[in-house]
Amino acid sequence: MDDAFHVSDRGDAHHGASAGGMPEGPDHSGTHSGSLKSYMTGFALSIVLTIIPIVVVLYGLLEKTGAMIVLLGAAVLQFVVQLVYFMHLKEEKKPRYNTMALILGLVIVLTVIIGSIWIMAHNQVAH
């Protein structure tokens, strides 16, 4: 007999659903859900953080180094906005497995990027 199949005291049979027909759980899907306001705030921030570097680069508002700083800063902020508003990282209960997996992934990516830059800068064959 499947654990998800239940027969109530009244004889009603259902598959892991509440009386309203929705699956049982905190948000009816087993995952975090955000409000429309939260999603719209994240969307608006994402749009702003995309437009700022585009305007800076297209109109030449800053020199090369300044434009690069604005671009990288906006990229980091965009990453944080995605994590907070769309991935709901701040709503995660303990233990924080998603946060630990994210940190491990960042360490691996940064190691590959920094290692690649170091190898390209110190490659004796190419000089």
* Domain count along the chain: 3
Q: In which band, very low, low, confident or very high, does the pLDDT at 62 lie, cut at 50, 70 and 90?
A: very high
Among 89, 91, 51, which residue's Cα sits nearest to residue 70? 51
Same domain, 47 and 23: no
Same domain, 9 and 25: yes
- 37: phi then psi, degrees, rounded to nearest 5: -60, -45
Q: Tell me the CA end-to-end span of the chain in Å, nearest whole number.
A: 70
Chain segment 1-40, per-residue pLDDT in tens: 444 444 545 554 444 444 444 444 344 444 556 789 989 9
Which range marks the domain in which residue 104 is found? 94-127
Chain segment 73-107, per-residue pLDDT in tens: 999 999 999 988 888 877 777 878 888 888 999 99
